[in-house]
Chain A
């Protein structure tokens, strides 16, 4: 019997059309899913049940698959350490000699710092608790740069927590479930991080683009940055604490300022998740709203009386506010 005589041969046109219709339906469904997705949301509920579920499944698989590679790396490091012990020892001695000088400087600076804090009555930031985690999967494509870390809600991790390697800032947590959290890297195209240039205190927004060196955008001031300047988190906006090392500023091939990330110095396998909460997160908003603010008295001054200049510390007197005292309230009687 010829194949054309087979009744199934007649199915060609309907099957082709049906396949086309299924393709269009699937494409429309995919576009609808894409349009309804909110990846960058901080709220776990918005992060999505499918994502939390898949992260929960993928983390242990990734951990198991990466174990042979990790153990091999540790073995290679051990062998290297054995064969290069003499040169390593020489280098460490030189480092130690230099560090001892820095230790003396650090002790002197700490002492000065403590005296200034006591004199000014500054309320310093409390120490930030941390959770350690191992990276189990890693995506490095142009459209998404994220990693899964094997510590989650059971370790107190929350969306928005900063993530650091031993060398510098890596990114922030964007999704958490039990036993696993997803870390959005600084290089991700959706990542925006408020940073400052250590030398000039200039502010900028570190913007990822999927490449290895994120851009510095919205730089302010004249000549705010030079090649080799250190870049730190500014703490603006409250997502990151101030002063975390980010990297070094360099001029890119596209003539834009970019940052060579400090975390790229070595493989990021173990990370520290800072369980950082900004004051806007820890403040009892309900309690603050309950406080009754007294209405201002008509005609009375709303400014506090000026403090005597003699009792002010020298540092405060040098601030712009102290150099330019506020003008007298218009409602107050003037001296003739």
Chain B
């Protein structure tokens, strides 16, 4: 029997590398480029990582990582500081709380959970922005960002596949 499961899971591998990837991917998509008159979409690259972190295992560092990604998004996109930190922490908390229900579920059900997490993040963003700006954001724009984000589930799936069994204490 392989003993690899007993190896401690290095935080840098499952937290640090995905965080850096999110930072880079989000920045690349913030470059002002147009193709045939259309801008690049603006998906939430952080959300697949947030979802996967919550599924893989509870961690003390993960919420801090989620907050760092949220603050980074606020600084890059110019939204109120703390908005995306809160919007990402809420689905993280939801998925972390429902970890027991998610165990052993099919890919389709996991995708449905990911859609629910994305809806929660964007719903919270909608509510907070409405309260802050005294003005309701355009639901169609929110819908586009939702669609652009839920297609990123395969990235979350891959991250879960890579690290779900890396620490058998949290199976």
Contact = CB atoms under 8 A, between A and B. Distances in A.
Given A26-B67, A138-B39, A143 B79 contact: yes
A148 to B, nearest CB: 8
Interface string A196-215: 00000000000111110000
A36 B82 CA distance: 9
Contacts of A36: 82
Given A138-B32, A190-B135, 15 more contacts: A3-B6, A19-B59, A20-B96, A27-B89, A27-B93, A30-B82, A139-B77, A141-B79, A142-B126, A142-B144, A143-B83, A144-B79, A189-B133, A210-B129, A211-B141
B39 A6 contact: no
A188 B145 CA distance: 15
Contact of A22 (B30, B63, B90, B135): B63
B27 A61 contact: yes
25 contacts: A12-B170, A18-B60, A19-B62, A20-B96, A27-B63, A30-B82, A30-B86, A31-B82, A33-B81, A34-B81, A34-B86, A36-B82, A39-B80, A66-B31, A66-B33, A137-B27, A138-B30, A139-B42, A141-B145, A143-B79, A189-B129, A189-B133, A208-B135, A209-B141, A211-B140
B144 to A, nearest CB: 8
A16 to B, nearest CB: 5
Contact of B32 (A58, A141, A147): A147
A51 interface: yes
Sorting the interface of chain B by its residue count into under 10, 10 to 19, 20 to 34 or 35 or more gives 35 or more
Contact of A30 (B42, B59, B89, B144): B89
Contact of B125 (A37, A50, A61, A143): A143
Interface string A33-48: 1111101100000001
Interface string B83-115: 101100110110010000000000000000000
B83 A26 contact: no
Contacts of A224: none
A113 interface: no
Name the residue in B30, B76, B142, B168 with the highest tally of chain A Cβ atoms < 10 Å from its Cβ. Answer: B30
A165 to B, nearest CB: 12
B168 A19 contact: no
Interface string B29-58: 011111000010010000000000000001
A137 B39 CA distance: 12
A20 B64 contact: no
B66 A26 contact: yes
Top 9 closest pairs, chain A to chain B, by CB: A34-B82, A211-B138, A146-B78, A33-B82, A19-B58, A142-B141, A139-B77, A144-B79, A30-B85
Contact of A65 (B6, B28, B63, B122): B28
A62 B96 contact: no
Contacts of B154: none
Contacts of B126: 142-143
B5 interface: yes
A143 B85 contact: no
A328 B141 CA distance: 60
